[in-house]
Chain A
Amino acid sequence: MRKIGFSVIYFVLVSVIFILNYTFEHTAMVSYSFWNITRAVLLIFAVIVFPLLNRRIYSIAVTVLKEELRKKTLYVIFIFVALLVSLIHVFGKIAPANQHVFVGEMGLSGITLFGLLFGVFMSSTAMYKEMEKKTVYVLLSYPVSRQEIVMGKFIGNMISILLFSFLLSLIFVVSLLVRFGPINSVIVYSCFALMLEFVVIVAIATTTSTMLSSTSNIVFVIIIFLLGHMTEKITHIASRLEAQRLKEAAEVFVRVLPDFKRFEFKDALSLGTVIEPSVIIASLSYALFYSAVALIIGMLIFRRREVDRL
């Protein structure tokens, strides 16, 4: 028999990492690079490995993965985008002066498009569809907690999107290597960062799918995606506001929004600057931490949700 619920341990793990982070970031107890790496390792354990060790979450996640892999539309979108990213270097001739930058940006946009289509559409319906099709009724007659169901859905959708975006990135990078020989490492980092962005999107979509119907959730997540890419602009506009209250409200809003700029290296790509691996590691921690907080909120909401109220 389980004594302490999964979600309680999850919450404690994430909180401990948060407190440690707060302590270490504001003191010189450990070096930055040490903490940066340790934090990432701890978060990978807490947010991905620990849930997967739970037999019920693992079973639900595998079932979600099966569901996604059996969708024909997925393959149509995937093949279309795969063709796009593998042939994109042909368009390099349009901008002969900086083929690298142009092709790199085009390919990354292609993968982003796929992630949005696939990730948003599939995870936006995660919990809502369970309630709409009433499959959650049977699920809840089994010894699985509501929190575990939310987590299982998230992990399953996350693994599916990581799998496919990894394959796309691979196709893209290999096609560039074949065409141009050695390529800018920023492109590889950008692909990885995009996968992190997808994880955050899936976490947000899973959480909001406990409340919003499929269509409104798709719209909601796309709006979050767009706003999350404009955090700098919003901050900029807010700084010009006269009213102090509005300014503060805008700051809070930007803080709550996911900062997708952390996963975007367009400037580095066009300026040819080098990205330190530590930046990527910090982005990884940000993505996992943001996802964990979103999911904790999702689990709390679903815990008290009456599953027949749509």
Chain B
Amino acid sequence: MDHVIEIKGLRKVYRDFWYRPKVIAIDRLDMEVKKGEIFGFLGPNGSGKTTALKLMLGLIFPTSGKIRILGKVPTDVRIKEQIGYMPEESYLYGFLNADETLDFYGKLNGIPRARRKERIEKVLDIVGLKHARKRRLSDYSKGMSRRISLAQVLLKDPDLVLLDEPTIGLDPVVSREVKDVILGLKSEGKTVVLSSHLLSEVQTVCDKIAILCEGKLIKEGNVDELLTVNGETEIVASGLKQEDISRIKDVISSSGGKFISSGHPKETLEGLFIKSIKEKQESKSN
């Protein structure tokens, strides 16, 4: 099976109490996600990203069109063992602690007791929640809620992972960790579908993207191909002096090219932030 997700002519119309059409949340959507891809749904708020994920999970039903997930219809319970879902916010039970939560979901997924214990230790380690494992989820901060929500996904060791706005509302450190987990999933050969309206996030992790607007697919393709500015070349070098740069300019013009700009590359603010926080924490622990 080549396509993990196959969607054809999908439409979702939300109706009001009198069954009159209210919102066309998804409009004639066609898309395919291949095994091992990291696929990003991009779009402004209200463009239908969450709706698309809800349809893929069988939480709601299409008005028309066809969806196949792992070769089956979304309401088929047999495929759910292989699907991990992290919603926009933590929709877990506030009265359970982290251990109980993971044990409950592990049981639902049919993971045998010994393996469940082992996996719970492992995923709590990955998301860094071992210190708070006995605390009720209702007492968790937003970042911790997102981590336990992610732990619930990793626990299943799923083939297909659906993440709805995985880094929204998180501080850059947690956000970075979540992105690392996503890249980890990729290296294990998992398929990941994530939605986001934070463009830089998508750029750093996704292979393929689809841009949604008012429920319609307006652009789709490979991130590298879409973002490559054709006909321009970028050179990054170190240890150059001012006169070297003017020599390079000469080389460019003599080979028929056009010099556009030079300057010092900037570190991203995210990188700077994470580096500073790390330094501070390390100096504290020493």
Contacts and interface: CB of A to CB of B under 8 A. Distances in A.
A137 B59 contact: yes
Nearest to A148: B77
A1 interface: yes
B28 interface: no
The B interface is mostly helix, strand or loop, or mixed, namely: mixed
B108 A56 contact: yes
B84 A55 contact: no
B87 A63 contact: no
Nearest to A141: B85
- Size category, A interface: 20 to 34
Nearest to A143: B80
Contacts of A309: 60
The A interface is mostly helix, strand or loop, or mixed, namely: loop
B96 A63 contact: yes
Contact of B57 (A70, A137, A144, A304): A137
Interface in A36-89: 55-56, 59-60, 63, 66-67, 70
Interface stretch (B99-107, B186-194, B272-280): B99-107
A304 B109 CA distance: 23
Contact of A66 (B61, B85, B87, B95): B95
Nearest to A70: B95
- Size category, B interface: 20 to 34
A135 B54 CA distance: 13
A239 to B, nearest CB: 39
A135 B61 CA distance: 18
Nearest to B136: A70
Contacts of A138: 85, 87, 91-92, 105, 149, 152
Contacts of B100: 66
A134 interface: yes
A141 B83 CA distance: 7
Nearest to B103: A59
Contacts of A60: 108
Interface of B: 54, 57-61, 77-78, 80-81, 83-85, 87, 89, 91-93, 95-96, 100, 104-105, 107-110, 149, 152, 156, 162
